[in-house]
Amino acid sequence: MSVWKAVNWNRPDDDFTDTFWKQNMMQFWTDEEIPLSDDQMSWLTLSHDERELYMKVLGGLTLLDTVQGGVGMPKILEWVDGLQRKAVLGFMGMMEQIHAKSYSSIFTTLASTEEIDNIFSWIESNRCLQIKAETISQYYNGIKTREDLYLAMAASVLLESYLFYSGFFYPLYLAGQGKMTSSGEVINLILRDESIHGLYIGMLAQEIYAQLDENEQQSAFDKLQSLIRNLHSNEELYTEELYQSVGLTDEVKAFIRYNANKAFMNLGLEPIFPEEDINPIVLNGISTRTKQHDFFSKKGNGYVRTLHVEALTDRDFLFDF
């Protein structure tokens, strides 16, 4: 019989997991805390095309969060050594389920049951979306070696730090103009979570990469390059399909290149696209956080932790390996 070990938080797995645990706890939120009904007036001012795009981008995001919560985090957690690391990944997986659920809260606020059902059928029939989910899931389900584990983690970082952003663009773009700001706040909370997920899994990935021999490293690097090429051409097609009707395709494409570079930085790799400016309205949308919402209004007195959240800076992640 093997010896079963219990998680001992008095003996740290490493010098960063405890920091990530605490940051995850501080950032904790649920969809029920964010009142969304204020967006109903704003929704009525959007055109048919704008509403359809909004529903579709949230539908696509729902699928990615469903995959990440149901497959990605559990599979990576299973293969990661370190009981505290597993705990952090388990918590992150739970947040993915809250993210996925929060889109449904937005849908319920804005749309009829029939419109919502139509979006969920659209998710199943949209080829680009299905390719994203299938491509990433293959890495999650195919872990047998350390190289596979590295690639599954790298795929996860691409999902967290890159694939979400064609979807985030539109709610941020609207929120940056004072439209749909409550839903925009939900998107900001999700974005804040995804940024620590991408960082954390990126750090675990870099550690695994360092353990591979030279041949494995080269092979993993080549496979990652081919993965990003495949994902990026799919992502460009998805962007064209969705954003053509509102004339934002080029801006979204610049935004996804910007985020592809961030994903590669999280993996400790060089950026793959030249540096470029992103739409200032979207940047403004990212900074709308906390303008709208007062956590006291929805939470009981005992629940003040979320008020003390400090944004992470790069300096929080200077660890000695």
Residues 79-138 that bind Mn ion (CB under 5 A): 96, 99
* Least Cβ distance, residue 46 to Mn ion (angstroms): 25
Q: How far apart are CA 77 and CA 186, in angstroms?
A: 26
Q: Let me know: does 46 contact 179? Beta carbons within 8 Å.
A: yes
Q: Which tokens is 53 given?
A: 């795009």
Q: Kindly determine how many residues on this chain lie close enough to bind Mn ion according to the rule CB under 5 A.
A: 6
Window contacting Mn ion (CB under 5 A); options: 2-10, 153-161, 241-249, 263-271: 153-161
Residue of 13, 31, 65, 185 interacting with Mn ion (CB under 5 A) = 65
Q: Let me know: does 79 contact 91? Beta carbons within 8 Å.
A: no
Position 31 contacts Mn ion (CB under 5 A): no
Q: Which tokens is 160 given?
A: 């967290």
* Least Cβ distance, residue 237 to Mn ion (angstroms): 23
* Least Cβ distance, residue 65 to Mn ion (angstroms): 4
Secondary structure element (H or E) that encloses residue 37, with its range: none
Q: What are phi and psi of 162, to 5 degrees?
A: -135, -55
Considering the complex, state which of residue 16 and residue 168 has its C-beta at the smaller distance from Mn ion.
Answer: 168
- Spot the catalytic one: 103, 140, 165, 238: 103
Secondary structure element (H or E) that encloses residue 291, with its range: none
E-strand spans in 115-189? Answer: none
Residue of 75, 179, 197, 257 interacting with Mn ion (CB under 5 A) = 197
Please confirm, yes or no, whether 103 is among the known catalytic residues.
yes
Distance of CA 198 to the CA centre of its chain: 8
Considering the complex, state which of residue 42 and residue 161 has its C-beta at the smaller distance from Mn ion.
Answer: 161
- Total residue length of the chain: 321
Window contacting Mn ion (CB under 5 A); options: 7-15, 61-69, 199-207, 305-313: 61-69
Considering the complex, state which of residue 120 and residue 296 has its C-beta at the smaller distance from Mn ion.
Answer: 120
Q: Which residue has the tokens 């041949």?
A: 215
Considering the complex, state which of residue 61 and residue 212 has its C-beta at the smaller distance from Mn ion.
Answer: 61
Considering the complex, state which of residue 194 and residue 235 has its C-beta at the smaller distance from Mn ion.
Answer: 194
Is the alpha carbon torsion for 228, 233, 234, 235 positive or negative?
positive
Mention every residue, 6+ apart, whose C-beta is less than 8 A from residue 235: 128, 132, 162, 163, 166, 256
Considering the complex, state which of residue 99 and residue 293 has its C-beta at the smaller distance from Mn ion.
Answer: 99
Stretch 154-173: interaction string toward Mn ion, x if CB under 5 A = ------x-------------
Q: Which tokens is 105 given?
A: 């809260």
Window contacting Mn ion (CB under 5 A); options: 29-37, 108-116, 197-205, 305-313: 197-205
Identify the DSSP state of 159: I
Residue numbers annotated as active site: 103
Binding residues vs Mn ion (CB under 5 A): 65, 96, 99, 160, 194, 197
